[in-house]
Amino acid sequence: MYQQKSLLRRHTAIAAFVCALFMADPVSAATKCQRIAIKQIAKFDKQLAKVQARFEERRNRLVDGYLQHIDDTDRRDALAADLEAVVDGFELDDVLSRSREKKSVLTEFIAADEPEACKAGDGSAYIFDRTIEVLGVNHETALEALQDRIDIETVGPNEGLVVLAMYIDGRVMRLTLDKRGSMTGARAFKNVKVGQFFRIIKLPAGEYQWTTVRTSEELTRSYFADRTLYYYDFRDRDLSFKVEPGKLNFTGVLMYSGSGYADIKDRTSIVMRLVENRYPEFLERYPAVNGLVPGDKYLDFFLSEKRSWQEVQQ
Amino acid sequence: MKCRKSKTAALASILIAPLASAQIQTTPEVETNPASLEPADSQVLDSISMIPPFFSRDAIRFVRISPDGKRLAFMRGSDLMVGSVDEGFHAVQDWSGKVTLTQLEWMGNSALIARLILAGSWSGKPAFVALPISNENGQLLAGERSVFEAVGSILDPLPSDPDHVLFISNDVKDGNQFANVYRLNPFEKIRTQLGEADRLNKNFNRASWYVLNKSKKLFLALDSFDATPRLYKRSPGGTKWKLLWQGSANDRFIPLSLNADDSELYVLTDANSERLVAAALDVKSGQVSRIVHSDPITDVYNVVVSDRSGEPVAAVINRDGLIDYAFLDAALEEQFASIRDQLNAATVIIADIAKSDASAVIFTRTPNSTGTYHFCILASGECAEIGEVRPWLNSNNLATTETLEVASTDGHSVFAFLTLPAVPDEKKLPLIVMPHGGPIGVSDNRHYNPDAQWLAHNGYAVLRVNYRGSSGYGKTFLSAGMRQWGRGIEDDIESATDTVFSKYDQLDKTRVCIYGASYGGYSALQSIVRSPERYQCAASFAGVTDLPLLFSQSVYRRDEELRDELVKMVGDPELDLAELREYSPVYNYRRMSRPVFLAHGTEDSRVDIEHSWRLERLLRMADADVQMHEMTGVGHGFETLQQIADFYEPLMRFFDRHLRPMQ
């Protein structure tokens, strides 16, 4: 958010300078501003509709394609709702509503025929472009999460389910998870948002390690920063976990700070709450293990105690 | 005065969360949020507004006497004060805001050098600032020059060379601490990096500390690789370092200073003794030539060495939980006695002494005051008050603390401290037992403790126990605390509790809660597992609840040495897993029949909040009486008065509910 504001300030400064030139002839300046703003809005509306439509189409294809293979109606309905929840989790509407606010302010100024319209329009083009860009990125992430959700419905003989949780404090363009002994990266997560990340994915059994982060100074640090790409390697920190086949593998919480620092904490109890809320059926279907600290007995203890209290209540 | 802070037990004491005893850098003002308090709790609101006077940092700090003994420099609030009793004290620098002073030294008689921690600093390193002091028409002024940013401290301000200081860095390589020493002119230029040209230990890279000879050259060097102290000597004018003395693993060896002709080194060591003693080591033979002072009960904490004669004049010891002196110089003892009588104080501490030995800064305390600094001429015994450390507290209302010696179940002597409210509002007082953190290598004392005073101010008696494993009482007592989580340590706490009930009729045995931070939090929780009949409630801040979970932290998974330390202290999670579970509150939650208060910071890097979450979840499943206070942005201790207020506000309600339900 801070970076967006910073960039906005930069554009504001440029726009103010341009407006100052226009102000030599106020009437003509207002007209020109109106024309520019109207063009921007029209272009934005068109692009937005196109991006949205493309996303809807891909999402529907993905969901419908999967659900049509499920015969059990109840199961299909439940799963459909669950898949939708994955998409909602990305708060796609929020990006749209923020851009609509900007658009409506601009529209009001145009309607009022104010010579100050230029100021209202400052940076709008940039905001609109960024909205389209961010929406596109979020769509990709949402589709990826949908695909993961679909994938975990079936688990192969040498595969395990992996509960991934992260706290991200800083922009992450690409976060890499490698499999030990494998030459290729096991999985890369693109454009991970600041805040909490939670997902269950499917991986072949083995030992895995969070290895690198790629980020950009441009959107993380300061007003004057350039678009230099930064690459942090934390292989020496041994941020590893094990995946056992046929099990629900808890892997701790990856903590990443924007300055390149990363650590894993065993926060099984808080991750358990997320699993219980979002994927209770997986706790029924698969034995849960702590892949971060394989010797830890807390999970077994907790689940056994939980069953015991449930029996008491019944 | 030449002395060095003890660096012992830094590694062992890994589970300490100071309650609020840490120095807080806020002025004594705090905003409470009345909207968050229920109307019926106006008493609690009044009470919480009293947090700042108890917990804010001292009004006067870092009192330093100039080498000629004529001027003083000290912090008063956020002002750096300079002056003398005759010319008055002038504020020469305002360090308000997010600046914390961590070291202040005189460079000669007309300049100071300060180490400052700047919150939000890009490098995160301390900044060193040189301040020339001038007198313009009777007004003292300070210039300011930022010298450099680096992790380390001023090794010697070189008072006889006012243009230079010796700086010692504090670096870590491959898990080992080592230091470099630089000779710098802080007035010459602002440095972004310490230059190799200024480094004095060019051909020796493994020492963590250096001792200077009378020519202010590096003469002795100490390393502690593999926890084994080794002392090296450099021949005068030479470049080669030779091993002079070597101790055994885990021996403590703290070099202090050399005598006048550089033939003896004064040290604190327990290499050949049960407790830390002050000794003189012959720097020719590498043998301990004499014991300067030893105490039959406690460690010797420091030695005051006269700069004038180079001889030790007093050993600093612990007597009944207070700092005291064993004088080695009859003249100083006489002067000290005269000052003690004149100031009518129970505790008299030498805070700083001039190089000439003519004058000193003296800190005094009476049993129910927080203390006062004085400037004293030693020969005449004349003293002038510099100021009280907590002038905003009414000394008459401060609680007094008494020392008890308790026989533990296995024959140890354990010292405990009972703080009783100055103005008790009940005939029978509720008691809060407050075990300290650690558990190894930490101890409580009888000096001002904000948490104990705060609780006593609210009508509670407070018992703090230096259980087995606490520092200051020797090797055997220290190691007796290893792997005694939930066992011997809690035996000692219970023995002390029984003793105070047998000696103090005014304590109500039916109204007792146990509360602590970090290990103290663990102890509180485990105590209601093992002895629920003793307590009405338990409260934990940053407490350990699951012993095997301690080993899950990546720092212990990566660092074998640290892990080994933790294994020694707690037990091995691979070999002793069943035992670790047996003494973990989490796996015993069904036996916790008393109300539980859990508070934990979300940013705690020592004991992760997962500890409290696990226990909370299980207790809630069991429908037990549990209250969880998640503190966003708080680490393993408190950094602001607001955090302390946010913590104590629900805790005081909790105590009131369970210890004073009728009020």
Partner-chain residue, chosen from A237, A263, A269, that has the shortest CB–CB distance to B614: A269
Q: How many CB atoms lie within 10 A of CB A64?
A: 10
Q: CA B397 → CA A30, A84, B246, B456, distances in Å?
A: 73, 64, 51, 10
**Residue (of B89, B95, B167, B97) closest to B133 by Cα position:** B89
Residue with tokens 């808080």: A270
Q: In this complex, do A297 and B577 lie within 8 Å of one another by their Cβ atoms?
A: yes
DSSP assignment of A175-235 equals EEEEETT-SSEEEEEEEEPSEEEEEEEEEESEEEEEEEEEEEGGGTS-TT----EEEEE-G
pLDDT at B299 > cutoff 90: yes
pLDDT value of position B192: 67
| Minimal Cβ distance to B610: which of A265, A295, A302 | A265
Q: What is the average pLDDT across A115-135?
A: 66
As a whole number of angstroms, the distance between CA A311 and CA A301 comes to 15
A257 touches chain B (CB under 8 A): no
Q: Which residue pairs from B411-414 have beta carbons closer than 8 angstroms and sit at least 24 positions apart in sequence?
A: B412/B468, B412/B477, B412/B480, B412/B492, B413/B297, B414/B465, B414/B466, B414/B467, B414/B468, B414/B492, B414/B495, B414/B496
Would you state the pLDDT for residue A3?
Answer: 39
Which residue in chain A has the smallest CA separation from B602?
A267
Is-contact B561 B502, C-beta < 8 A? no
pLDDT for B480-535, tens place per residue? Answer: 999 999 999 999 999 999 999 999 999 999 999 999 999 999 999 999 999 999 99
Contact B301, B6 (CB under 8 A): yes
Judged by average pLDDT, the poorest of A225-234, B78-87, B132-141 is: A225-234
Mean pLDDT of B553-572: 88
Contact A292 B552 (CB under 8 A): yes
Q: How confident is the model at residue B115 (pLDDT cuts 50, 70, 90)?
A: very high
How much of chain A exceeds pLDDT 90, in percent?
Answer: 37
CA A90 to CA A149: how far, in whole Å?
14
Q: Check pLDDT > 80 for residue B596.
A: yes
Candidate from A18-32, A198-212, B145-159, B172-186 with smallest mean pLDDT: A18-32
Interface of B with A (CB under 8 A): 546, 548-549, 551-554, 557-558, 573-574, 577, 581, 586-587, 608-610, 613-614, 617-618, 621-622
For residue range B643-661, list pLDDT tens digits in order.
999 999 999 999 999 998 7
Residue among B554, B608, B618 minimizing CB distance to A305: B618
- pLDDT tens column, A267-314: 999 999 999 998 999 999 999 999 999 888 999 999 999 999 999 888
CA distance A168 to chain B (A): 14
Give which of B301, B354, B385, B367 is closest to B89, Cα–Cα: B385
Nearest-Cα residue of chain B relative to residue A310? B621
A57: closest CA of chain B, how far (Å): 42
Pick the residue from chain B with its C-alpha nearest to A235.
B558
Nearest neighbour of B621 by CB, restricted to A273, A292, A305: A305
Burial degree of B100 (CB within 10 A; 0-12, 13-18, 19+): middle
Please indicate whether, in this complex, the C-beta atoms of A267 and B577 are within 8 angstroms of each other. no
Shortest Cα distance, chain B CAs vs residue A296, angstroms: 7
pLDDT at residue B137, as a whole number: 76
Judged against a pLDDT cut of 50, whether residue A24 lies above it is answered with no
* B67 preceded by a cis bond (ω within 30 of 0): no
Distances (CA, A) of B436 to B289, B366, B413: 38, 24, 17
For chain A positions 267-296, those within 8 Å of chain B (CB to CB) are 267-270, 272-273, 292-293, 295-296
Who wins on pLDDT, B156 or B395? Answer: B156
pLDDT at residue A177 tops 80: yes
Q: What is the pLDDT of residue B106?
A: 94
In which band, very low, low, confident or very high, does the pLDDT at B20 lie, cut at 50, 70 and 90? low
pLDDT at B48: 65
Look at A17 and A138; give whichever has higher pLDDT: A138
Cβ atoms of B453 and B446 closer than 8 Å:
no
Per the document, the length of chain B is: 663
Q: Which of B121, B547, B557, B600 to mutate to test the interface with A (most CBs of A within 10 A)?
A: B557
Interatomic CA distance for residues B112 and B103, integer angstroms = 10
Q: Is the pLDDT higher at B439 or at B96?
A: B439
pLDDT confidence of residue A172 = 85
B-chain residues near A305 (CB < 8 A): 618, 621
d(C-alpha A65, C-alpha B365), whole Å: 80
Quick one: pLDDT at residue B52?
84
Check B558 against A238: CB less than 8 A apart.
yes
Give the ipTM: 0.83
Selected residue of B614, B616, B632 to mutate for chain A interface (largest A Cβ count, 10 A)? B614
Q: How far is B610 from chain A (nearest CA, A)?
A: 5
**Cβ contact, residue pair B586, A298, below 8 Å:** yes
Q: What is the pLDDT of residues A67-106, one digit of tens each?
A: 888 888 888 888 888 888 888 777 777 777 777 777 777 7
Distance (Å) from the C-alpha of residue A71 to the closest C-alpha of chain B? Answer: 37
Q: Which residues of B fall within a CB distance of 8 Å from A301?
A: 586-587
Per the CB < 8 A criterion, the answer to whether B547 and B439 are in contact is: no
- Residues from chain A that touch B617, judged by Cβ atoms under 8 A, are 269, 272-273, 302
